[in-house]
């Protein structure tokens, strides 16, 4: 199938891959972060056996229509031959364990790929049941990790209609790769452990493109954006220098006290257990030295000091495996510094694209609603600021897109089960903007707001067919005093008229600009409008 790509950079503008860097953090089988003290290196023998990285294996899906990037390791000077369907298609020689050999294999059309044989002087590796199709890298934090079904692999897994979804996951044309688990063919037996967002994204692509789909899933619960970003690109970002200096100062000032608090807490827990065993009275809990604000600040500094760690061990080892693009679902762990999210994400996208040598499409999912209808809380931070940054990145970075998930949230569950909507919406954006299909991939787009006495009027300029207002709520108005009041909205043609009691001369309008927003503006395709605001007033502690 021929697709019309986005107008990205030409091959002559592509950048070289970065030099090797040490890795500090990796993800375990549950998508959690664990520390590493060793450099990342491939698994290989000290003997002359030819070896391949884990991502190259049987049952894999490779990107169709592009020469296949293929690499591995062999002793210096050892001859390596690669066959497809029994015919030699590439020859090279090893350069030792420190340097992989690299070859290009012929581009493949969508569908089955001939068996691939890799031979050295002492061994032959055979890769079978390989498909060519569309390959997407899926990354982020726990809402990308969240699996179709709850189990030992993910305690917060589970989606809507989970039993039906798992039973119907009978599609051998979907292949999923995760480090440590290798490639798996989609079936009711394997699908429960798949990333739900990634799976529903792939399912929609399969339905519309009629081609195999491969997913590379590299995500970690509770992870911030900075560790997923190449350190080299973050260090080129002026904002990061300030973040790093602040983080270092915080750790120098509060780190020792935190360690003492943790030691005291551990000792107290031991004393409580001993008291219970002896039938005595448990001692009172120790009073922490750090205030909640100091603890939050120290927590926020940790991912800044770990910048690049997750990238080194979970993204860079995937290079140069051919991908079509990336799907990113993350931001909760950056919500207490949401105003700084956009520059970090721009550097993340820049670095990943440099690694692959092409500016591939990058799709961001906005944060789902969670918590209370507030713009900021000390514990949760500001989801509205993160969503605003995600929308900004999509508008300012060529080839980037954003899909709305603000309306599929759950006030009491940070891992909402409606991942079907998230995957479907991401696929719709890709189908229209990457594969040039004719469809509606986004919700209504607001035009410039007109303020007048007692009301604000906002036109819907794009994707307005079937425009509907599901309720009068979702909007807020403020006057010159900067205090927002719940507003009432009515639909008049393609305009939405908003009024609020107590606001006679409105100067600012917000829509769905809360941690747990009311989303009411949709089009006939069932897609919601993105959150927005007209003001640039401070949100968070500075506003208080």
Q: What average pLDDT does this structure show over 218-223?
A: 97
Q: What average pLDDT does this structure show over 3-16?
A: 33
- Are 270 and 282 in a shared domain? yes
What does the pLDDT look like over 257-303, one tens digit per residue?
989 989 999 999 999 999 999 999 999 999 999 988 888 888 889 99
- Are 429 and 319 in a shared domain? yes
- Are 93 and 137 in a shared domain? no
Mean pLDDT taken over the chain: 91
Domain end point (choices 433, 465, 496)? 433
What whole-number distance in Å separates Cα of residue 185 and Cα of residue 214? 10
pLDDT at 138: 98
- Are 343 and 394 in a shared domain? yes
What does the pLDDT look like over 227-265, one tens digit per residue?
999 999 999 999 899 889 999 999 999 889 989 989 999
Above 50 in pLDDT, residue 9? no
Residue 161: C-alpha distances to residues 156, 169, 348, 377, 457 (Å):
15, 12, 35, 32, 40
* Under 8 Å between Cβ of 288 and 261: yes
Above 80 in pLDDT, residue 14? no
519: CATH: 2.60.40
Residue 155 resides in a domain: yes
- Are 220 and 351 in a shared domain? yes
Residue 25 resides in a domain: no
Structural domain tally of the chain? Answer: 4
157: CATH: 3.40.50.1110
pLDDT at 27: 61
Give the confidence band of 544 by pLDDT, cuts at 50, 70, 90. Answer: low
Residue 440 resides in a domain: no
pLDDT at 305: 94
Q: What average pLDDT does this structure show over 330-347?
A: 96
Q: What average pLDDT does this structure show over 9-15?
A: 30
Domain end point (choices 86, 107, 128)? 128
Residue 70 resides in a domain: yes
- Are 259 and 319 in a shared domain? no
- Are 225 and 263 in a shared domain? no
Residue 62 resides in a domain: yes
Domain end point (choices 96, 128, 160)? 128
Residue 353 resides in a domain: yes
Residue 33 resides in a domain: no
- Two tokens at 243? 């973040």
- Are 50 and 93 in a shared domain? yes
What whole-number distance in Å separates Cα of residue 527 and Cα of residue 519? 11
- Are 351 and 391 in a shared domain? yes
* Residue range(s) defining the domain that contains residue 342: 133-230+308-433
Residue 372 resides in a domain: yes
What does the pLDDT look like over 366-389, one tens digit per residue?
999 999 999 999 999 999 999 999
* Under 8 Å between Cβ of 142 and 222: yes
- The total of other beta-carbon atoms located within 10 Å of residue 130's CB is 24
What whole-number distance in Å separates Cα of residue 133 and Cα of residue 68? 12
| Residues sharing a CB contact under 8 Å with residue 290, sequence separation 6 or more, in sequence order | 254, 257, 258, 261, 298
- Mind giving me the DSSP string for 359-423? ---EEEEPPPP-SSS-S-BTTTB-HHHHHHHHHHHHHHSTTEEEE--GGG-BTTBSS-S-HHHHH
| Better pLDDT: 483 or 12 | 483
Angle, alpha carbons 94-135-163 (nearest 5°): 125
- Are 225 and 318 in a shared domain? yes
- Are 204 and 336 in a shared domain? yes
| Better pLDDT: 225 or 48 | 225
Residue 160: C-alpha distances to residues 82, 151, 409, 417 (Å):
45, 15, 13, 5
pLDDT at 299: 87
Above 80 in pLDDT, residue 28? no
What whole-number distance in Å separates Cα of residue 443 and Cα of residue 459? 14
Above 60 in pLDDT, residue 42? no
- Are 215 and 318 in a shared domain? yes
Q: What average pLDDT does this structure show over 455-468?
A: 97
What does the pLDDT look like over 123-175, one tens digit per residue?
999 999 999 999 999 999 999 999 999 999 999 999 999 999 999 999 999 99
What whole-number distance in Å separates Cα of residue 396 and Cα of residue 247? 28
pTM: 0.90
């Amino acid at each position: 199938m021929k697709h019309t790509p986005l107008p990205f950079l030409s091959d002559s503008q592509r950048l070289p891959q970065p030099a090797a860097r040490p890795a500090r953090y990796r993800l375990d089988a549950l998508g959690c972060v664990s520390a590493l003290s060793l450099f990342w290196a491939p698994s290989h023998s000290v003997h002359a056996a030819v070896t391949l990285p884990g991502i190259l294996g049987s049952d894999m899906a490779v990107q169709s229509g592009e020469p296949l990037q293929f690499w591995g390791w062999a002793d210096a000077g050892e001859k390596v031959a690669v066959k497809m369907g029994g015919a030699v298609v590439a020859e090279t020689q090893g350069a030792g364990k420190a340097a992989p050999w690299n070859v290009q294999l012929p581009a493949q059309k969508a569908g089955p790929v001939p068996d691939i044989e890799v031979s050295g002087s002492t061994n032959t590796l055979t890769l079978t049941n390989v498909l060519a199709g569309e390959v997407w890298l899926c990354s982020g934090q726990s809402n990308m990790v969240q699996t179709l079904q709850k189990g030992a692999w993910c305690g917060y897994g589970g989606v809507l209609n989970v039993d039906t979804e798992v039973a119907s996951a009978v599609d051998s044309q979907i292949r999923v790769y995760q480090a440590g688990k290798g490639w798996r063919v989609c079936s009711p037996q394997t699908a429960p452990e798949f990333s739900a967002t990634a799976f529903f994204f792939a399912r929609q692509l399969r339905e519309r493109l009629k081609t195999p789909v491969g997913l590379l899933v590299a995500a970690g619960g509770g992870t911030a954006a900075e560790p997923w970003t190449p350190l080299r690109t973050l260090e080129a970002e002026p904002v990061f220098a300030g973040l790093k200096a602040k983080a270092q100062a915080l750790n120098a000032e509060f780190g020792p006290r935190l360690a003492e608090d943790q030691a005291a807490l551990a000792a107290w827990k031991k004393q409580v257990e001993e008291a219970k065993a002896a039938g005595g009275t448990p001692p009172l809990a120790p009073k922490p030295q750090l205030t909640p604000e100091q603890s939050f600040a120290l927590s926020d500094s940790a991912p800044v000091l770990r910048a690049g760690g997750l990238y080194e061990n979970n993204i860079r080892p995937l290079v140069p495996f051919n991908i079509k693009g990336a799907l990113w679902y993350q931001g909760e762990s950056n919500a207490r510094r949401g105003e700084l999210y956009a520059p970090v994400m721009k550097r993340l996208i820049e670095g990943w694209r440099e690694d692959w040598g092409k500016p591939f499409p990058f799709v961001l999912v906005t944060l789902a609603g969670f918590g209370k209808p507030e713009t900021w809380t000390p514990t949760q931070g500001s989801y509205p600021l993160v969503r605003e940054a995600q929308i900004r990145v999509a508008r300012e970075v060529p080839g980037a897109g954003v899909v709305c998930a603000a309306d599929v949230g759950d006030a009491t569950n940070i891992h909402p089960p409606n991942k079907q909507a998230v995957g479907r919406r991401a696929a719709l954006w890709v189908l229209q903007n990457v594969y040039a299909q004719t469809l509606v991939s986004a919700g209504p787009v607001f035009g410039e707001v007109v303020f007048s006495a007692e009301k604000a009027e906002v036109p819907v300029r794009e994707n307005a067919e079937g425009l509907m207002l599901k309720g009068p709520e979702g909007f807020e108005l403020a006057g010159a005093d900067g205090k927002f009041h719940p507003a009432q909205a009515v639909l008049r043609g393609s305009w939405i008229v908003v009024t609020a009691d107590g606001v006679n001369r409105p100067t600012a309008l917000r829509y769905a600009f809360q941690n747990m927003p009311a989303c009411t503006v949709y089009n006939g395709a069932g897609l919601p409008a993105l959150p927005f605001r007209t003001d640039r007033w401070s949100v968070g502690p500075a506003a208080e």
